[in-house]
Amino acid sequence: MSSFNLDVYMPVVILITLALLVAGGSMLLGSIIRPHHPNQLKETAYECGEEPIGTAWANFNVRFYVIALIFIIFDVESALMFPVAAVFKHFNEIGLGGTLLISIFTFTLILVAGIVYCWKKGDLDWVKSFNAPSTQQVNALSKDK
Amino acid sequence: MNSTVVTYLSQSKEFTNTVAALSKALGFDATSLVAFVIFFIGALIVVGALATIGGLGTYAERKISADLQMRQGPNRVGPYGILQFLADGVKMILKEDIIPAQADRFTFILAPFLCMIGVFATLAVVPFSSGLMLSDINVGVFYLVGMASLVGVGVFLGGYSSNSKWSMLGGMRGASQIISYEIPATITIVSIVLIAGGLSFKTLINGQGGLPHEWYLLHNPFAFIGFFVYFIAALAETNRAPFDLPEAESELVSGYHTEYSGMRFGLFALAEYIEVFVVCGVAVALFLGGYKVPFDLGSGHIFTEKLGLDSMLAQNIGQVLELGAFFTKTLLLYYVVIWVRWTLPRLRVDQLMTLCWKYLTPIALFNLLGMAVWMYAFDGKSIYSIIFNSAVSAAGHH
């Protein structure tokens, strides 16, 4: 077998097909034998017996949205780190471990700087701490106007 | 390099004979056809076995929780209630399927399918034994991390498309939790890859041995801490308690699957229980020696030499032993996962994020750097071999 052989991905395709078959098949089997008596009450969203007011697709404060941005950076970082990690042992054996070590350190420390920045800025906290203006400051501001 | 279940089976005489006979009958090279059939049957067996384990997982969950709370648990269907999961499955198929009128129908239907695809696709690389893993893709762990993140998409879409406030909150929590905990888990995996020097599961496991001191868990202190980081992150990624915030029943009714009924809910549950098994299996493969059996019993050479068995038969015995080793360790971890669920109270959302970003991620990054330094400084030796070698050389000086 050659070292690059797409045969190894055949089970992946088969398994994805099987996932669709199992899920779709059980739904199909169910649709034949299960009852189907829809009414308006059944089809409303469940809110513990209260009538739902408005849609759930409203704007609300998603905390930690900055984390989604950090996540992307870290995800790319780990994706880039995988190949380096995979060759590290081999490079170490042929005496190039130091080079890779320096590159891993540089790369990780830049990321650490990023997370430290977010931490300091308060993006990792539930309630973002900030310095609220004192009453006198507010009064001074309103007087200026 | 890329070995599969077919590579293993092609060593036997029957395989060559079948391929030869089929090629003759059909008039073309039938190797790919036979390979496809073997893959298909293998995939069927794996899916069947894992679906059963997932089903038994729900039974075990209820029975163990009952045990921990001094109750009986399910005990009506079958001996000790062991057939409860089949009864549940039948019930779910028979339940009426309700799609809320306000919901986004397409994504609502799509979400459980995504969860199933994500979980089933990871099964391709789970290393059950050296010969019987479906496929040893050369980017194994990387592939697994990528495919497993599809589940997060399913959870979020399920919550979003339901158009119910509980589902929405659950889906949002699920999305933020799953993406957050992917970071420490992935970085820990990278640090283990540093030791193994390869991404395929075979490379990862072949670096380890059957006895605990040869496992990566005890390779060096960083790997030891890494195991716990990975395990906690894996618990959170599979939405298991104490991190089951996306489906926290006391606050969000049922979280992202509040509006799902019948088999659609069943698909979510099945995917979750299989995913727990998969992450336990990955933890075993990365840290606990995977399928390795002590004293090299797994390769089967010893049976050929000492007992004079046929080499293929000896190999098969070795495979069975390896399967036993893998399943024993994985199911023990599975037990720990259930035990943790019924022992620890749930975290609050901000505590969850604090734990991930202020503790686990820095620890995982520190582990990565520490591991790189260790590999460089000690030439990739484990702590055991360093102590053992220094003891031997000290004894030699006398």
Domain-wise residue ranges, chain A: 62-131
What pLDDT is attached to residue B124? Answer: 85
Answer whether A45 sits within 8 Å of B164, measured CB to CB: yes
Q: Across residues A2-19, what is the average pLDDT?
A: 75
- Residue A54's region, left for phi above 0, alpha for psi from -120 to 50, else beta, is left
**Mutate: best of A53, A64, A91, partner B, most B CBs <10 A:** A64
What pLDDT is attached to residue A3? Answer: 45
Give the whole-number percent of chain A exceeding pLDDT 90.
0
Answer whether A26 sits within 8 Å of B198, measured CB to CB: no
What pLDDT is attached to residue B145? Answer: 87
Answer whether B353 sits within 8 Å of A112, measured CB to CB: no
DSSP characters over B43-100: HHHHHHHHHHHHHHHHHHHHHHHHHHTT---S-SSSGGGTTHHHHHHHHHHHS-----
Distances (CA, A) of B226 to A12, A19, B185, B370: 29, 32, 9, 11
Distances (CA, A) of B396 to B132, B389, B390, B391: 44, 10, 10, 8
Q: Across residues A98-122, what is the average pLDDT?
A: 85
This prediction's pTM: 0.86
Chain B nearest-CA residue for A77: B187
Answer whether A12 sits within 8 Å of B51, measured CB to CB: no
What pLDDT is attached to residue A5? Answer: 62
Residues of chain A with C-beta less than 8 angstroms from the C-beta of B97: 27, 30-31, 34, 36
Answer whether B380 sits within 8 Å of A7, measured CB to CB: no
Chain A nearest-CA residue for B253: A48
For residue B221 the two structure tokens come to 């202190």
**Mutate: best of B176, B229, B363, B378, partner A, most A CBs <10 A:** B176
Give the whole-number percent of chain A exceeding pLDDT 70.
86
Query: Which residue has 């310095």 as its token pair?
Result: A131
**Cα of B280 to nearest chain A Cα, Å:** 20
* Residues B81, B83: Cα–Cα separation, whole Å: 6
Chain A nearest-CA residue for B116: A19
A45 vs B95, B96, B100: nearest CB: B100
Chain A nearest-CA residue for B188: A78
Higher-confidence residue of B127 and A52: namely: B127
What pLDDT is attached to residue A63? Answer: 65
- Collect the ranges in chain B with pLDDT lower than 70: 1-3, 298, 300, 397-398
Answer whether A29 sits within 8 Å of B93, measured CB to CB: yes
Interface pTM, i.e. ipTM: 0.81
Residues of chain B with C-beta less than 8 angstroms from the C-beta of A36: 96-97
**Cα of A20 to nearest chain B Cα, Å:** 7
Distances (CA, A) of B229 to A118, B199, B225, B235, B259: 22, 20, 6, 10, 33
**Cα of A133 to nearest chain B Cα, Å:** 26
What pLDDT is attached to residue B230? Answer: 92
Chain A nearest-CA residue for B263: A27
**Cα of B177 to nearest chain A Cα, Å:** 10
Residues of chain B with C-beta less than 8 angstroms from the C-beta of A85: 190-191, 193-194
